[in-house]
Structure 1
Amino acid sequence: MLDQLSYKDKNTFLQNVHTAAILTYLAALLLLPLILAHPLYLLGVFLIGILAVVVSDAAQECLPFLVMGIWVAVFVMILNPLLVQNGTTVLFYGPELPVIGRLRITLEAICYGATMGVRLMAIILAFALYNAIVHPDKVTGLFSRFAWKSSLVVSLATRMIPSTARDLSNAREVQQMRGVNFSSGGFRERLKKYSWLLEVLLLSSLEGSLATAEAMQARGFGSRRRTCYNRELVRPRDYLCFLSGLSALIIGVYARFAGYANFSYYPQLDTLAAASDLIWLGVIILCLLLPLILSWGWKHWPYLRSKI
């Protein structure tokens, strides 16, 4: 699982976009499922997320999160019709239950549970995409310009988990080479063996903290205004990705409050597809598709890569 949590540079288009632009695009993929209620809008955003995973060559990193999201979504889809008794279209009458009463399975409850499952998978997929295509150092570097103390704390905290896991694995391998078998013996004996690992891990963490503090002091951290060794260039592709994500988010908010992206599940289902709903859905999909089309051109058209 730690391999999926680590960033892998594959030199894809979305990985080469400016950090602010790709964060705006991912924010649209995250906030649109939270804002919109229409099932077609939610399904469209989810499919765009799937396509973004494919074009970013991040299927291996995102698949465990997507599988987890599918299981949770199926659980929600099954649980909601059992607990929610609202809806006028009754599909099945069940026995009397102690707290709920007589079991009523309605079409509206099933549709609402399925829609919430799609929303949940879209949100999980947005976080998985962030983990796969956004470099954590670039994010902390972006926010360190106006919140350098908080960025330092976040950077050290995110570095702690993989470094601690690596130190623990190394200590375990060293103990095994010395003849320690962690799977043999009783509970107290195995607990004593693992306590050795905790001692080694504590010592290595303290030594790492001292080394980090000495390195920061040698570089004059906090003594004066910080400098930046590497600056991200702003290119035409960055403007296009930033505007596409921001436009999709603004249009989604407008469609939601204007009533085009609303959908009522109870007490009876609304009409699924009106002409005005489909128009705004198409505009949002086109905005979200623009970076993915550029990603395809980046991969197959060297001339376009040189221009953007």
Structure 2
Amino acid sequence: MSLKSVFSTCHPAVNFGWFCAVIGIGIFLIHPVFLTIAVLASICYALLLGGKGTLKFIAGFLLPMILVVTVVNALVNPRGSTVLLFTEYSQITMEAGIYGLTTGLMLATILLWFSCYNRVMTSDKFMYLFGKLIPAVSLIFSMVMRFVPNFKMQIKKISEAQRCIGRDVTNGRVRDKIHHGILIVSIMFTWALENAIDSADSMRSRGYGLKNRSTFSIFRFDRRDLSAAVLLVLVAGIVLAGMALGKCSMEFYPQIVMADFDWFSAVVYGAYGILCFFPVLMEVKEVITWKRLQSKI
């Protein structure tokens, strides 16, 4: 079940800017402190939005992916000074294993952020932000974002309909199963193309993409959005400054060496924590405010 968070009610520019910050910065940070913050924050927000479905995604895909990345990097990368095991063709080092683990965690975090993005940044928000700047690209992107969940539902309907007439992929011999599967995929692509053409024709008939076309939007940039934008720019700027000064750096080869810890490092850690946990903090603030109002009744 997908739930609506307080952060998703913010202005689309705030939503999009925050996702660009956490994903863009997170790609370059494999420092253990930053990784820990990002992993915890992404799991918390993904659970808030996706519920039990997020747990299945983590257990069924992300954890095996992290394990595979860790093992593969340890096996194929002989770099590092701390040798754990010698093999016939290479050596397994602690540094290579830790680097693989941190890389796997970073990839898992980015995937979790993108799963949150798909739930928060709806197609109407993306169209609102980029409809006038890049109308063709924004239309295609919004259609893709909308069709992906629709594909799931439609292919389920098609499969059930084909099963009722004995043409499911579980019926018949191997050759029949392959034929039924190809038929279902063909029906699915036909449906997708028809919907894409209908959507494009509908948007064209409404004057979408015309230079002087007037638009209506339900989104308004209020004081809450301004405060959130200022805070996010501030903390993101602190993190970027820390990256530029080397406070977020970490070397794995030939030995593991982290940047020296000082007062500014603590400030950067705190700023990154605020940046990553911002939607969760908004949710906590909303709950506290609601409880306080209830107590006054």
Same fold, TM-score > 0.5, yes or no: yes
- Measure, in 2, the Cα distance between the counterparts of 1:79 and 1:195: 35
TM-score, normalised relative to structure 2: 0.81
Deviations 1:98-137 (A, max 9, x none): xx3xx2x333223222222222222122111112222222
Q: Which residue of structure 2 lines up, in the alignment, with residue 13 of structure 1?
A: 6
| Kept in 1: contact 2:82–2:95 (CA 8 A) | yes
* 145-154 or 105-114, larger mean C-alpha shift: 105-114
| Kept in 2: contact 1:143–1:151 (CA 8 A) | yes
* 31-40 or 211-220, larger mean C-alpha shift: 211-220
Matched, 1:46 2:34: no
- Measure, in 1, the Cα distance between the counterparts of 2:63 and 2:29: 20
2:271 maps to amino acid: V
1:280 maps to amino acid: V
Q: Which residue of structure 1 lines up, in the alignment, with residue 88 of structure 2?
A: 96
Q: Which residue of structure 2 lines up, in the alignment, with residue 58 of structure 1?
A: 50
How does 1:208-247 map onto structure 2 within 5 Å? 208=195, 211-212=198-199, 215-216=202-203, 218-222=205-209, 225-247=212-234
- Measure, in 1, the Cα distance between the counterparts of 2:267 and 2:105: 21
Over the matched positions of the two proteins, sequence identity in percent amounts to 22
For structure 1, the residue ranges without an aligned partner over 5 or more in a row are none
For structure 2, the residue ranges without an aligned partner over 5 or more in a row are none
* 269-278 or 120-129, larger mean C-alpha shift: 269-278
Structure of higher RCO (CA pairs closer than 8 Å, 6+ residues apart): 1
Change (3 A) 1:21 1:83: same
Matched, 1:176 2:169: no
Q: Which residue of structure 1 lines up, in the alignment, with residue 274 of structure 2?
A: 286
Q: Secondary structure at the match of 2:86?
A: strand
Change (3 A) 1:212 1:259: closer
State the Cα distance separating 1:148 from its structure 2 match: 1.3
Q: Which of 8, 18, 34 is the aligned partner of 2:27? A: 34
State the Cα distance separating 1:223 from its structure 2 match: 5.7
| Kept in 2: contact 1:25–1:244 (CA 8 A) | no
| Kept in 2: contact 1:73–1:118 (CA 8 A) | yes
- Measure, in 1, the Cα distance between the counterparts of 2:196 and 2:44: 41
Q: Secondary structure at the match of 2:27?
A: helix
Q: CA RMSD in A?
A: 3.1
User: What is the count of residue pairs matched by the alignment?
Assistant: 291
Q: Which residue of structure 2 lines up, in the alignment, with residue 259 of structure 1?
A: 246
State the Cα distance separating 1:290 from its structure 2 match: 4.3
Report which of the two structures shows the higher radius of gyration computed on alpha carbons: 1
Q: Which residue of structure 1 lines up, in the alignment, with residue 131 of structure 2?
A: 144
TM-score, normalised relative to structure 1: 0.79
| Kept in 1: contact 2:128–2:217 (CA 8 A) | no
* 215-224 or 273-282, larger mean C-alpha shift: 215-224
